[in-house]
Amino acid sequence: MYNIDELDALLLSELRDIAETLKIKNYKKLDKQGLIYKILDQQALIPESQLPERKVVVEKPATEKPAIEKRSNVVASNNSTQGINEKNSVATNVEPSNSPSTPAKTTNNATNTNPGQPMSSRGNNGHIRRNRNTTPNAVNLDIAIDSEGVLEIMQDGYGFLRSADYNYLASPDDIYVSPSQIKLFGLKTGDTVKGAVRSPKEGEKYFALLKVETVNGRTTEEIRDRVSFEYLTPLFAQERLRLDNGPTQYSTRILNLFAPIGKGQRGMIVAPPKTGKTVLLKEIANAIAANHPEVYLIVLLIGERPEEVTDMSRSVNAEVIASTFDEQAERQTKVASMVLEKAKRMVECGHDVVILLDSITRLARAYNIVIPSSGKILSGGVDAHALYNPKRFFGAARNVEEGGSLTILATALIDTGSKMDEVIFEEFKGTGNMELQLDRKLANRRIYPAMDVPASGTRREDLLMDKEVLSRVWILRKFMADMTSIEAMEFLLGKMRGTRNNEEFLASMSDT
């Protein structure tokens, strides 16, 4: 079986001979690069026992004409006396090639007196052989380097490893993956592939993947029998994500008590404009990164302002993928699709993944622009088919019985004055198993976090909290049931300011 480097070193005629033995159709119409990939694909389909024997190419020794006479003639044209003397001196120093008394080994023991110049040596027949590498410090471009990327498979069967630095979109750093490698290892779109990569040769445009080392942090043998994400068993969240990140981080402390988040949670943050939803997401991301290093955290920003993207990437220890509001809707949907596929592939391999999406309303707006019109238009100008992909994204969050989880916290915009935003929120209402509502009245009074605590909560919170803590939280809820959102938040902040953590807060409430 040939590899890509061996095939690249052969001539086009030799490649055509190999293609003929492998019974490749229309191989004469292909150029050298296309013929190489066709041979690699055909080898992957044929069992190794049935492959024809490899053709061994033996290079013939190069024969050169004696250059002594030519050299003497050139010199003689300038100075005849000097040329005759040089001819005689060379003739006396060079032995005949057929002389048995001169051993062949002595002609190859030449030493280079000037290390900065190319090496030259004499053969058995006295002729000069010069090194083909005429540059003193040549760089070998065929050296393989380790690289990593997220796979995107194209319609023709080949794929590219996309870089997170370019938000998983096409870039000059893309790495070509052949169809034979995709079939051999069972790769899918979204797989994080790490392996040996070589730089593009003359006439090539992309880097090429030579060897696959790991896929999603697992070996190639471990991922062969993985179960597809759609066939994994979803369960309620059972392991809580601890969001305690300091005594003054009241937003995450309140979330821990009244709207806990577990691994596999599908949460929605319902937020009017200017209520601090982006700052809240940043605090949640920092808390998860500090308390759960085993979780792979992705912050996905769709339709946000560029300065907020920069601020998020600098202040959060997570992978920040963004498509700002000034980009086309096709790019926004492409970025979201690649992030979702990457998360699914990681969950298939048993990893815990958290995606913080801001916002699902803008993602639905982008899909409403991109999708072809179905003729079924809802109120507000929303196409009936445009909400399928956002629901597919949000519905992918789940805790998996076989191991791994995908947690998604998405923000939904309300009270924007747009009928479309209201329709989108109504379509997603009730689909999550955790809901956090932000209140504009609290934000207007500059009371942060602007949470409407009585209206927020988590389904099956008994699976995430201890019975003792849960009973005390229920007592607090009963006490705040008749309060407005402003009164409830002022009450909680007043009691929490003198405590270092939630345990001290609950203990102080039981004493009173």
Share of the chain above pLDDT 70, in %: 81
Q: For the domain made up of 250-509, give the CATH fold.
A: Rossmann fold (3.40.50)
Rounded distance between C-alpha atoms, residue 360 and residue 301, angstroms: 9
Q: What is residue 377's DSSP assignment?
A: B
Q: Cis check for the bond before 337: say yes or no (omega within 30 of 0).
A: no
Question: Quick one: tokens of 101?
Answer: 């008394």
The residue among 265 and 429 whose pLDDT is bigger is 265
Residue 165: how many CB atoms within 10 A of its CB? 8
Return binding residues.
262-267, 274-279, 305
SS (H, E, C) 265-333: CEEEEEECCCCCHHHHHHHHHHHHHHHCCCCEEEEEEECCCHHHHHHHHHHCCCEEEEECCCCCHHHHH
pLDDT of residue 158: 92
pLDDT of 103 > 50? The answer is no
Q: Indicate the domain borders of the chain.
A: 4-42, 146-225, 250-509
Decide: 444 and 393 in contact? Cβ < 8 Å: no
Coil/strand/helix, residue 133 = coil
Residue range 2-31: average pLDDT? 80
Decide: 320 and 302 in contact? Cβ < 8 Å: no
pLDDT of residue 512: 59
Q: β-strands 352-358, 218-219: how paired?
A: unpaired
Q: What is residue 451's DSSP assignment?
A: B
pLDDT of 502 > 90? The answer is no
The residue among 94 and 369 whose pLDDT is bigger is 369
| CA-based nearest residue to 383, from 423, 323, 410 | 423
pLDDT digits (tens, 9 = 90+) for 272-317: 998 989 999 999 999 999 999 999 999 999 999 999 999 999 999 9
Decide: 192 and 346 in contact? Cβ < 8 Å: yes
Rounded distance between C-alpha atoms, residue 220 and residue 186, angstroms: 9
Task: Assign 229 a pLDDT band (cuts: 50, 70, 90).
Answer: very high
Where is average pLDDT lowest: 92-106, 123-137, 195-209?
92-106
Rounded distance between C-alpha atoms, residue 195 and residue 172, angstroms: 18
pLDDT digits (tens, 9 = 90+) for 140-191: 556 778 899 999 999 888 999 999 999 999 998 899 999 999 998 999 999 9
Q: For the domain made up of 146-225, give the CATH fold.
A: OB fold (Dihydrolipoamide Acetyltransferase, E2P) (2.40.50)
pLDDT of residue 153: 93
pLDDT digits (tens, 9 = 90+) for 245-254: 888 889 999 9
Domains 146-225 and 250-509 share a fold: no
Write down the pTM of the prediction: 0.72
**Can you spell out the DSSP letters for 234-272?**
EE---SB------TT-HHHHHHHHHS--BTT-EEEEEE-
Return binding residues for ATP.
262-267, 274-279, 305
pLDDT digits (tens, 9 = 90+) for 357-409: 998 999 999 999 998 888 888 888 888 889 999 999 999 999 999 889 999 99
